[in-house]
């Protein structure tokens, strides 16, 4: 029997976590042979609801779950955490400007970054899901000087998975036939879903779909998919977001079967200046990710990648004073 690993989840009484916690507990993230200790964080007013989630987790009698901690103290939730999924965030309230939203979340993620720095395993792998995810991850990382910035990532895997399905359906193939999908940049409407390096069942995607469909349907549909879900469901993506968070962490920990998209600390690759968390194509192996290098970029791609980079720089400028 393997030693249990500690998995912290924030916003644990929220919608995404209501799917996420149960799938992690059943072994979907780290395997059916990996025992887990769940360390669940909520704000104080949500502790009663969190207690209900814990009761349900207990009622599942999951063989892999060794212990469950429920708390409103980030220092307790992140204690010795091997994995931290930061899902809880402040949603946009009435009359709130984008800058107010960035600031409200910056306050949360600076505290959580510090708590990770002070308490988590030195090898902790951090995934930020709560929006604005890229900039929240940057703030957490900047407030965790003893951890490597490479340990902080943000989720664009849901966008990646959405793009896979759109292209597979358009070409009449299965998602597993699509390789080389890339989401560049921010998890926002400026993200750039790029099929220039994609193959579908071995054929370049660009030969299978019309350029016009790609530019005027595919790209905006992937960018706006979150809004379309809200319109249809009356609530934001939850199970699909949880599923993608599991994909992201599983691949990071256990290896990816091909190219996947992860928002990570920019290192200058593809001309993206360091200092932001930017989504890149990566391959994961041995518990680490590596940016796929050497892809040729045309002017269309360069312009889209720059637009989403510019937005991330603006977000960064709005919270500069909280970067630690």
Task: Kindly tell me which of 151 and 243 has the beta carbon lying closer to ligand NAX.
Answer: 243
**Ligand-binding site membership of 95 (annotated):** no
Q: Residues 104, 201, 238, 295: which binds ligand NAX (CB under 6 A)? A: 238
Q: Residues 16, 24, 30, 259: which binds ligand NAX (CB under 6 A)? A: 16
Task: Kindly tell me which of 2 and 189 has the beta carbon lying closer to ligand NAX.
Answer: 189
Least spacing, CB of residue 77 vs ligand NAX, in Å: 8
List of residues 6+ apart from 31 with CB closer than 8 A? 254
Task: Kindly tell me which of 208 and 238 has the beta carbon lying closer to ligand NAX.
Answer: 238
Task: Kindly tell me which of 151 and 161 has the beta carbon lying closer to ligand NAX.
Answer: 161
Q: In the range 126-185, which residues lie near ligand NAX by CB under 6 A? A: 129-131, 133, 155, 158
Q: Is residue 263 exposed (0-12), middle (13-18) or buried (19+ Cβ within 10 Å)?
A: buried
**Ligand-binding site membership of 196 (annotated):** no
Is the distance from CB of 308 to CB of 190 less than 8 angstroms? Answer: yes
Tell me which stretch binds ligand NAX (CB under 6 A): 41-49, 165-173, 283-291, 300-308.
Answer: 41-49
Q: Is residue 223 exposed (0-12), middle (13-18) or buried (19+ Cβ within 10 Å)?
A: buried
Task: Kindly tell me which of 11 and 281 has the beta carbon lying closer to ligand NAX.
Answer: 11
CA-CA distance, 222 to 52, in Å (whole number)? Answer: 35
CA-CA distance, 38 to 30, in Å (whole number)? Answer: 13
Binding to ligand NAX by residue 89, rule CB under 6 A? yes
Among the listed residues 187, 197, 248, 321, the single catalytic one is 187
200 strand-pairing partners: 178, 203
| HSE (side-chain half, CA atoms, 13 Å) at 261 | 30
Q: Residues 187, 225, 248, 316: which binds ligand NAX (CB under 6 A)? A: 187
Tell me which stretch binds ligand NAX (CB under 6 A): 8-16, 163-171, 267-275, 301-309.
Answer: 8-16
- For the chain, how many residues are written? 324
**Ligand-binding site membership of 89 (annotated):** no
Q: Is residue 104 exposed (0-12), middle (13-18) or buried (19+ Cβ within 10 Å)?
A: middle
Q: Residue 234's Cα: distance from chain center in Å?
A: 22
Binding to ligand NAX by residue 91, rule CB under 6 A? yes
**Ligand-binding site membership of 169 (annotated):** no
Binding to ligand NAX by residue 260, rule CB under 6 A? no
Q: What are phi and psi of 88, to 5 degrees?
A: -65, 135
Residue 286 CB coordination number (10 Å): 8
**Ligand-binding site membership of 130 (annotated):** yes
Residue 174 known to be catalytic: no
Is the distance from CB of 282 to CB of 291 less than 8 angstroms? Answer: yes
Binding to ligand NAX by residue 292, rule CB under 6 A? no
**Ligand-binding site membership of 92 (annotated):** yes
Is the distance from CB of 279 to CB of 292 less than 8 angstroms? Answer: no
**Ligand-binding site membership of 211 (annotated):** no
Residue 4 CB coordination number (10 Å): 15
Task: Kindly tell me which of 34 and 162 has the beta carbon lying closer to ligand NAX.
Answer: 162
CA-CA distance, 8 to 69, in Å (whole number)? Answer: 9
37 strand-pairing partners: 6, 67
Annotated binding site: 11-17, 92, 98, 105, 112, 129-131, 162
Active site residues: 187
Annotated binding site for substrate: 92, 98, 131, 162
Annotated binding site for NAD(+): 11-17, 105, 112, 129-131
Binding-site ranges for ligand NAX (CB under 6 A): 10-11, 13-17, 41-43, 46, 87-91, 108, 129-131, 133, 155, 158, 187, 226, 236-238, 241
């Amino acid at each position: 029997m393997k030693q249990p690993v500690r998995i912290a989840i924030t916003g644990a009484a929220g919608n995404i976590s209501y799917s996420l916690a149960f799938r992690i507990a059943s072994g979907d993230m780290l395997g059916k042979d990996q025992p887990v200790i769940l360390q669940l964080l909520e704000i104080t007013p949500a502790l009663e609801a969190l207690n209900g989630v814990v009761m349900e987790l207990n009622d599942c009698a999951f063989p892999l779950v060794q212990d469950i901690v429920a708390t409103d103290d980030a220092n307790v939730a992140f204690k010795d955490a091997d994995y931290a999924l930061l899902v809880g965030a402040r949603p946009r309230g009435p009359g709130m400007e984008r800058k107010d939203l960035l600031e409200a979340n910056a306050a949360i993620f600076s505290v959580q970054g510090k708590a990770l720095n002070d308490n988590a395993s030195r090898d902790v792998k951090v995934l930020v899901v709560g929006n604005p995810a890229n900039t929240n991850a940057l703030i957490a990382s900047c407030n965790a000087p003893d951890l490597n910035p490479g340990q902080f990532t943000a989720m664009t895997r849901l966008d990646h998975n959405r793009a896979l399905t759109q292209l597979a359906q358009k070409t009449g193939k299965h998602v597993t036939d699509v390789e080389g999908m890339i989401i560049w940049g921010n998890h926002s409407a400026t993200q750039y879903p790029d099929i220039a390096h994609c193959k579908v069942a071995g054929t370049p995607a660009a030969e299978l779909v019309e350029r016009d469909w790609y530019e005027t349907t595919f790209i905006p549909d992937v960018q706006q998919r979150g809004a379309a879900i809200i319109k249809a469901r009356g609530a934001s993506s939850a199970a699909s977001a949880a599923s993608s968070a599991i994909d992201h962490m599983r691949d990071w920990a256990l290896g990816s079967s091909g190219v996947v998209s992860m928002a990570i600390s920019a290192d200058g690759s593809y001309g993206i200046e360091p200092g932001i968390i930017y989504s890149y194509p990566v391959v994961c192996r041995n518990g680490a990710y590596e940016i796929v290098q050497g892809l040729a970029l045309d002017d269309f791609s360069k312009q889209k990648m720059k637009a989403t980079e510019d937005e991330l720089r603006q977000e960064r400028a709005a919270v500069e004073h909280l970067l630690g």
